[in-house]
Amino acid sequence: MEKDAKIYIAGHRGMVGSAIHRKLIKEGYTNFVTRTSDTIDLRNQQQVTDFFKEEKPDYVFLAAAKVGGIVANNTYRAEFLYDNLQIQNNVIHNSYLNGVKKLMFLGSSCIYPKMAPQPLKEEYLLTGLLEPTNEPYAIAKIAGIKMCDAYRAQYGCNYISVMPTNLYGYNDNYHPQNSHVLPALIRRFHEAKEQGLPQVAIWGSGSPKREFLFADDLAEACYYLMQNYNEEGLVNIGTGEDLSIKDLALLVKAVVGYSGDINFDTTKPDGTPRKLMDVSKLHAQGWKHTIELPEGIKLAYHDFLTKHTLVKP
């Protein structure tokens, strides 16, 4: 990407988009076009059409999406499918119509079949049934991958797709119902510590294993691939390492400094037993993560403390 190129980051205020924005600024890019959701509704075809005609960006990072944890995914099934399809349809199609040089579509590790072999290789896409709780979101993201490939095949568009593992970091969502597991644990342990609660309840058995990548590491990978990767299909972005939810909870508990007990509520669902990314394709491209989980959780917790109203007893 040329240093003076006009770059559109869809979702620039979210955790992923803001991390990409920080990375590009660090690399010397200054010509950004950004819009907040109160000035453009990416679900609205006419608004997106007008925006692209007016701004004519050279490069697009499509990091805007309706996202959430297991509860949100299972509760707002129609919105997760409709909103995400609309966003990516409008942005990808208008990128083609307005001559965008390159587009990066960001998906999610939930695109893979629930019972796919571990670790998850890129070629496992569409080889089995999806996890029921987040199937609508996964289907939308799969459609985005295939749309990028279709525009590449039919029109020669240089559109690439990347699938991050579970993310956390600066500007994360700490909503009590709609957040992902790691930020949810940070908030729960923090509030329990502030309120002097004797125990913290956590959904499920604690046995499922998950992989976590700091969002600024993801941004590093996205920048690297935007410079060096130009193929169809998708690239997994992760650490290639995972741990159980129980071990994650103990790690967060230690970082937060909570001294009470943990109660695993086995009446609640566990979700997918394991989701570990095979990142050999990414490593072969020449990129590897640098921020390990204990350090990353400390950074995320500090960010939480500086940006969120602390709950007092």
Q: Supply the pTM of this predicted model.
A: 0.91
Is residue 29 part of the annotated active site? The answer reads: no
CA 198 – CA 195 distance, rounded (Å): 9
Within 10 angstroms of residue 78's Cβ, the number of other Cβ atoms is: 8
Whole-number pLDDT of residue 310 = 52
Q: What is the H or E stretch that residue 226 is in?
A: helix 215-228
**Residue 270, marked binder:** yes
Residue 211 contacts residue 277 (beta carbons within 8 Å): yes
Alpha helices in 58-205 (DSSP H): 70-75, 77-97, 135-155, 181-195
In whole angstroms, what is the distance from residue 196 CA to residue 258 CA? 9
Return the CATH fold of 181-209+242-274+293-307: UDP-galactose 4-epimerase; domain 1 (3.90.25)
Is-same-fold flag (7-168+211-237; 181-209+242-274+293-307)? no
| Separation between Cα atoms, residue 100 and residue 155, nearest integer Å | 12
C-beta of residue 173 within 8 angstroms of C-beta of residue 66: no
Is 98 within any annotated ligand binding site?
no
8, 29, 59, 137: which one is catalytic? Answer: 137
Residue 106 assigned to a binding site: yes
Over residues 45-71, the pLDDT tens digits come to 999 999 999 999 999 999 998 877 677
What pLDDT, on the 0 to 100 scale, is given for residue 311? 44
Each residue's pLDDT tens digit, 94-141: 999 999 999 999 999 889 998 899 999 999 999 999 988 889 999 999
Which segments in the chain show pLDDT lower than 50? 311-313
Instruction: Give the type of residue at 20.
Output: I
CA quadruple 206, 211, 213, 218: dihedral, nearest 10: -140
Map out the domains of the chain as residue ranges.
7-168+211-237, 181-209+242-274+293-307
CA distance 171 to 69: 16
Task: Supply the pLDDT for residue 313.
Answer: 37
The fold of 7-168+211-237 is Rossmann fold (3.40.50)
